[in-house]
Amino acid sequence: METFIEIKPGRKPFQRIYLGIMLWFVGKAIQAAARVDNEVKKEFKGMPANYTFSLGAFPNGPYMIVGKDDKEKVRYLGSNISKHHVDLEITLKSMKNLFVLFTFRESTPIANSRDRMIVNGDLPQACAAVRILDIVQVYLLPKPLAKLAIKRYPRWSLKRHTVDRLMVLIRTITGI
Amino acid sequence: MHIPDYYEFCCRVNIVTDHHALEKIPELLLSMGAKNPMVLTDKGVQAAGLIDIVIGAIDNKLSIKTIEDQVPPDSDLKIVNRLACVYHEKGCDAIIAVGGGSVLDTAKGINILVSEQAQDLMQFTGAGVLKQKLKPLIAVPTTAGTGSEVTSVAVIADHEKNLKMLFTSPFLLPDTAIIDPRMTLTLPPHITAATAMDAMAHAVEAYVMLSKNPLSDAHAIEAIKLICHHLVRVIKQPSDKKGRLALATAATMAGIAFSNSTVGMVHALGHSMGSVCHLPHGNCMAILLPYGLEYNLHKVEDEIAELLLPLAGEEIYACTPQKNRALKAIACIRELNQILNKATGGTHPICFKNIKDKQGNFLVTKKMLPEIARTAMGDGTIFYNPEDLDYEDCLMTIQAAWEGIPLDRSKIKQG
Ligand SMILES: [Fe+2]
């Protein structure tokens, strides 16, 4: 007889909603940055055709998935991990770990060094995905918060900090 | 001392250290219910006569089914598949792996296939896929460097698809590591130097990288002490059995340290140096180690400063003002490289531009450096480095290491 694991909704609805919104933003912002930012463009270019990657929490999410389509266009593919083939999974071991990460109490490198993440997929691509996430965080977050999230706050040109950031934010919200 | 909120430490390898540790193999294997081992090694180890010593020590107390010496310098998927078939055909029930990193990786790969009764290694890649104990595996390291006898990872290359497959699981830890100085007694001085500096890089990186913890620290510090105390003496007096045992112990301790912490940019750059220019890993480590520390200095100055004590001893540590200790520690490693260079008659390299192959051709040209930097950007160990690295940072570091000049620290970007 087959046994079914009953998936219970998380007991922390606030965390789940907060993370869902954050992941939606990150996913949309990756799609936007891939149109605006040259470095993000380059990172995606280095990935194989139709490459997809996800970020989320084990075992029941939430998740976000982004990937390249047939025409090399980067798209936010939503939050339903069972609907997509994912080449690279970056998964926090629990929703709490993801919450700590997204409330900037622990940076991505520290979370990784404390063994809170599982990376499943090719390493060079994983490195590229982490660099993309870093850049997107710099676009989305005010400097003091971004500094908590990444190792080194980058020295960007004034245009990248202002015009490009505005473009990324507009495209993130409007989805175009 | 820095104590992280969370860390894990795991080393369930039985480490048997003795001037006659090899003689314990039969007893150890029998206690695990096995008596028909495959002996796995490479041509170099075989030619150095080390297998004869191992066989002599086993002294017919086990029925060795086969001795396979086909392991290439870079572990290979095809060989793993073939040897797994041999394991079954000959009715083996254990593996005794005698060699360096590649032999150990190959042994771990074979052990996955034969224990899981599987054909395809690919299905076991990644972390935590293995769910049960594998067949008995005894590791006999012959290099005093890699520390693979106590690590839970295996890297196996699929040369046809040009892929490197990474396997991580606590079940990949060998059951027993045999540390017997007879296995390293005949290593020539320049290889002794290179492999010991690999161990040094494991210990030093384990101590300064983001995943450090008090348990890995203890192993790292002791390993550094042992290497500093014994390495130059052993180079000058290769038959120094006590010194050989100390270096082998240090390599194992450094292996425990880095597999429970991590390595960082020194290994990221070193791996790509190795894959692009086919340099021996230990040489890359020796050259790159001071640069890796210089690069991270502003982030982990206290940790590097603490390394001065095991590197230089109490007197120098006490005489050096706190603010100078980190730089002094880096200088100590450079100085050790210089001493090794002299003691090996110039064969221990101190910068990349001077390394030549047997025919006298330069192995690393300036033109190769951009490709090396690009490759390093895809190396997972970069995650654990305290400071971030982009392509320019990697390039700047290896350019300095190529020339053999200290890193211009004013050019390091500090967020
Ligand atoms: Fe190494």
Q: From CA A52, how far away is CA B127, in angstroms rounded?
A: 20
Q: From CA A76, how far away is CA A26, in angstroms rounded?
A: 9
Residue A128 carries which side chain, given as an amino acid letter?
A
Contacts of A109 in chain B (CB under 8 A): 210, 383-384
**Higher local confidence (pLDDT), B311 or A104:** B311
Cβ contacts of B412 within 8 Å, gap of 6 or more = B295, B298, B387, B393
Q: What six digits make up the tokens of B272?
A: 């790509």
**Regarding beta strands B137-141 and B66-68, do their DSSP bridges make them parallel or antiparallel, or are they unpaired?**
unpaired
Closest CA to B184 of B334, B22, B341: B22
Q: What are the backbone dihedrals phi and psi of residue A90, each rounded to the nearest 5 degrees, phi first?
A: -110, 110
The residues with which B33 forms a beta bridge, in sequence order, are none
Residue A35 carries which side chain, given as an amino acid letter?
R
Lowest mean pLDDT among A155-169, B118-132, B227-241, B268-282: B118-132
Quote ipTM for the complex.
0.83
Q: From CA A145, how far away is CA A103, in angstroms rounded?
A: 9
| Minimal CA separation from A174 to chain B, in Å | 31
Which among B8, B386, B387 is the nearest to A115, CB-wise?
Answer: B8
Q: Alpha carbon of B180 to those of B97, B245, B326, B332: distances in Å?
A: 14, 7, 35, 29
Lowest mean pLDDT among A159-163, A171-175, B285-289: A171-175
Cis peptide before A59 (omega within 30 of 0): yes
Residue B309: which pLDDT band, with cuts at 50, 70 and 90?
very high
User: For B191-214, what is each residue's pLDDT tens digit?
Assistant: 999 999 999 999 999 999 988 999
Q: From CA B98, how far away is CA B105, in angstroms rounded?
A: 11
User: For B226-271, what is each residue's pLDDT tens digit?
Assistant: 999 999 999 999 999 999 999 999 999 999 999 999 899 999 999 8
Q: Does pLDDT of A10 surpass 70?
A: no
**Top-confidence range, A119-133, B317-331, B357-371:** B317-331
Q: What are the domain boundaries of chain B?
A: 14-183, 189-411
CB atoms within 10 A of CB B275: 17
Cβ contacts of B285 within 8 Å, gap of 6 or more = B194, B197, B198, B200, B201, B266, B267, B270
Quote the ligand 1 centre to B199 CA distance (angstroms). Answer: 7
Residue of A nearest to B375 (CA): A124
Residue B160: which pLDDT band, with cuts at 50, 70 and 90?
confident
Cβ atoms of B370 and B402 within 8 Å: the answer is no
Residue of A nearest to B385 (CA): A109
A151 with B414: Cβ contact below 8 A: no
Q: What six digits make up the tokens of B74?
A: 């870079």
Cβ atoms of B35 and B93 within 8 Å: the answer is yes
For a pLDDT cut of 90, what percent of chain B falls above it?
A: 75
Q: From CA B190, how far away is CA A139, in angstroms rounded?
A: 50
pLDDT of residue B382: 86
CATH hierarchy code of domain B189-411: 1.20.1090.10
Residue of A nearest to B298 (CA): A152
Q: Quote the radius of gyration of chain B (alpha carbons, Å).
A: 21
Q: From CA B328, how far away is CA B317, in angstroms rounded?
A: 9
Mean per-residue pLDDT, A87-114: 85
Domain made up of B14-183: CATH architecture: 3-Layer(aba) Sandwich (3.40)
Give pTM, 2 decimals: 0.91
Cβ contacts of B16 within 8 Å, gap of 6 or more = B24, B28, B176, B177, B178, B179
Residue B306: which pLDDT band, with cuts at 50, 70 and 90?
very high
DSSP code per residue over B308-370: HHHHH-HHHHHHS-HHHHHHHHHHHHHHHHHHHHHHTTT-S-SSGGG-B-TTS-BS--GGGHH
Which residue do the tokens 């006569």 mark? B49
DSSP letter at B389 equals -
Mean per-residue pLDDT, B96-121: 93
Helix (H) / strand (E) element for A127: namely: helix A123-140
**Regarding beta strands B153-158 and B14-17, do their DSSP bridges make them parallel or antiparallel, or are they unpaired?**
unpaired
For a pLDDT cut of 70, what percent of chain A falls above it?
A: 94
Q: From CA B96, how far away is CA B32, in angstroms rounded?
A: 13
- Residues on chain B bordering chain A, Cβ-to-Cβ distance under 8 angstroms: 4-8, 126-128, 166, 209-211, 262, 377-380, 382-384, 386-388, 413-415
Q: Alpha carbon of A169 to those of A60, A86, A101, A143: distances in Å?
A: 29, 26, 21, 15
pLDDT of residue B161: 78
Residue of B nearest to A152 (CA): B415
Cβ atoms of A88 and A54 within 8 Å: the answer is yes
User: For A15-49, what is each residue's pLDDT tens digit?
Assistant: 888 998 989 988 999 999 898 899 999 999 988 88
Dihedral (Cα; B301, B304, B305, B309), 10-degree rounding: 170
pLDDT of residue A108: 81
Helix (H) / strand (E) element for B40: namely: strand B37-40
Residue B367 carries which side chain, given as an amino acid letter?
K
Cβ atoms of B130 and B169 within 8 Å: the answer is yes
CATH class in words for A13-174: alpha beta
User: What sign has the CA pseudo-torsion B99, B101, B106, B111?
Assistant: positive
A152 with B387: Cβ contact below 8 A: yes
Quote the ligand 1 centre to B112 CA distance (angstroms). Answer: 23
pLDDT of residue A1: 46
